[in-house]
Amino acid sequence: MKLPILGAAALAAVMIVAAGPLTAQSPPQDDSEKEIERYRQMLSDPFSNPGFLAVDRGEALWAEKRGAKNVSLEGCDLGEGPGKLEGAFAKLPRYFADADKVMDTEQRLLWCMDKLQGLDTKDVVLRRFSGPARASDMEDLVAFIANKSSEMKIQPQLSHPKEKEMAAVGEALFYTRGGVNDFSCATCHAEEGKRIRLQGLPNLSVKGKTAQETMGSWPTYRVSQSALRTMQHRLWDCYRQQRWPVPEYGSEALTALTVFLQKQAEGGEIKVPSIKR
Amino acid sequence: MIRTFIPLAALLLAAGTATAQERPAQAVIDAYIKSTFGKASAEWQARIKPDDSLAVCNTTRNNPSSAESDAMLKRESARVVYPADGKFLGDWKKGYQVANNGRGGQFSDPPGTVAGGNCFACHQLDPKEVSYGTLGPSLAAYGKDRKYDPETIKDTYTKIYNSMAVVPCSNMPRFGVNKVLDEQQIKDVMAYLFDPESPVNK
């Protein structure tokens, strides 16, 4: 999709306003928050959301022949059958019998790259989060795949015993405190209407609208970071703010938390990629 | 630190929150934690190993039984180290820096980063400052409202040094116990709350 000139100019303006340091403890001032809201409304036109550029790049990557086996990802089974993309993201994470594991979108993609394409994923994992002059295959692929579930409802998969375990462990992890500040997810996300400095904190401890709107809006284009970000990145950033160690990309605790959050968000409408501060 | 073993009965008791599902065995949870954080250094691993009090907070979701609360208050009170010189108040201007600084303890912080108390993240302090969080109560006019009472000053030192010596499973960091702030930083932030010249009391 193309980025109209007007959209690009508006975005450049937002980026200047929003380009604070990435530490969440030094948030933008009230005024810039309002400015961003204004631009966000302007940008509700999907054609000017740069997240859709990631969708396009992801589509190309999905079809590209790569790896020792020189095949595309089109044979990858994301849970709905090989190559079936419609609605697959809405049901992820889920249990995959071939791997005997509950996997989120990113874990499953890495599995397909390895098993199907014979691709050495080291470099892909190294570029898991994009940066200036560093594209991320994972972000682009997730944008593409998630977009194929846009306007569908979040359908947490909780029938397999391992899916049930994931949800239960994810819930326990949500309340597990630690790090030098004794923080858990619940410290920041378990009460209505709270904020840290000026940043509003969604209450994810209860099922319903807040959880639905939150989970239904990832992956998202983060204006402050000029990048499309996935739930893996959001959790990485929250564990950073929680003063925990660096979480391993695509690992069990992150997937467990995602299963739990999807459960909280059950029935929410997916509208992705969205655009956020 | 010693990991507490929690009997099943306690786990069931802990399921007080309406929608909470039964908490999986600690060993199961720990296996997930290991998968995600197992590669971190020993120092980082130690930071996420709950001490006896935090282990109770985790299993009860910050709702310890009254017996657990009593034990926690006793245990945490014993960990408070009061200034040898008996002085609780430092320099309020430096205290502002401590209250305003949210750095420290994050894996993205460069080595040697001086940690702050990040009080503004959760509390209103100087009423003129618009950027403050609401996870904790407003502390505007804190000293003035308490008439700069010496007993209250000591209690507040206790609170900042170790929040759980006052409120079991408090959501406020245990700044002294976890060595986030040193004694001088705590004295300075104390002065920010209790000096009549501090903007907090204006």
List of chain A residues whose C-beta atoms are within 8 Å of the C-beta of residue B105: 179-181, 243
Say what the pLDDT of residue B7 is. 43
A185 is catalytic: no
CB contact under 8 A, A245 and B47: yes
CB contact under 8 A, A248 and B37: yes
Say what the pLDDT of residue B16 is. 40
Residue B75: both structure tokens together: 């245990």
Percent of chain A exceeding pLDDT 90 equals 82
pTM more than 0.80: yes
Residue A197: both structure tokens together: 């400095």
- Rounded to whole angstroms, the Cα distance separating A123 from A127 reads 6
CB contact under 8 A, B47 and A241: no
State the number of CA atoms in the 13 A half-sphere of B7 facing the CB: 1
Sign, CA torsion B150/B156/B160/B161: positive
DSSP letter for B25, please: P
CB contact under 8 A, B33 and A253: yes
Mean pLDDT along residues A264-272 = 98
Say what the pLDDT of residue A38 is. 61
Say what the pLDDT of residue B22 is. 86
Residue ranges of chain B whose pLDDT lies below 70: 1-21
Which residues numbered 9-48 in A keep a CB inside 8 Å of some CB on B? 22-23, 25-27, 29-30
Residue of A91, A103, A78 lying closest to A155 (CA atoms):
A91
Q: Cβ–Cβ contacts within 10 Å for residue B161, how many? A: 23
Residue B135: both structure tokens together: 């996870």
Mean pLDDT along residues A55-64 = 98
Q: Cβ–Cβ contacts within 10 Å for residue B117, how many? A: 26
State the number of CA atoms in the 13 A half-sphere of A210 facing the CB: 14
Which of A33-37, A56-60, A79-83, B180-184 is least confident?
A: A33-37
Residue A190: both structure tokens together: 């378990």
Residue pointed to by tokens 């959001």: A234
Closest Cα in chain B, distance from residue A112 (Å)? 21
User: Predicted ipTM?
Assistant: 0.90
Q: What is the pLDDT of residues A150-182, one digit of tens each?
A: 999 999 999 999 999 999 999 999 999 999 999
Say what the pLDDT of residue A28 is. 46
Q: Is A41 helix (H, G, I), strand (E, B) or coil?
A: helix
Taking all residues of chain A, what is their mean pLDDT, rounded to a whole number? 89
Mean pLDDT along residues A67-83 = 98
Say what the pLDDT of residue A48 is. 81
A207 reaches B (C-beta below 8 A)? yes
More confident residue, B37 or A40: B37
Strand A274-276 with A220-222, pairing: parallel
Q: What is the pLDDT of residues A198-241, one digit of tens each?
A: 999 999 999 999 999 999 999 999 999 999 999 999 999 999 99
Among A76, A185, A188, A238, the one annotated catalytic = A238
Confidence of residue A43 (pLDDT cuts 50, 70, 90): low
Cis before A219 (ω within 30): yes
Say what the pLDDT of residue B52 is. 98
Mean pLDDT along residues A119-139 = 97
CB contact under 8 A, A206 and B19: yes
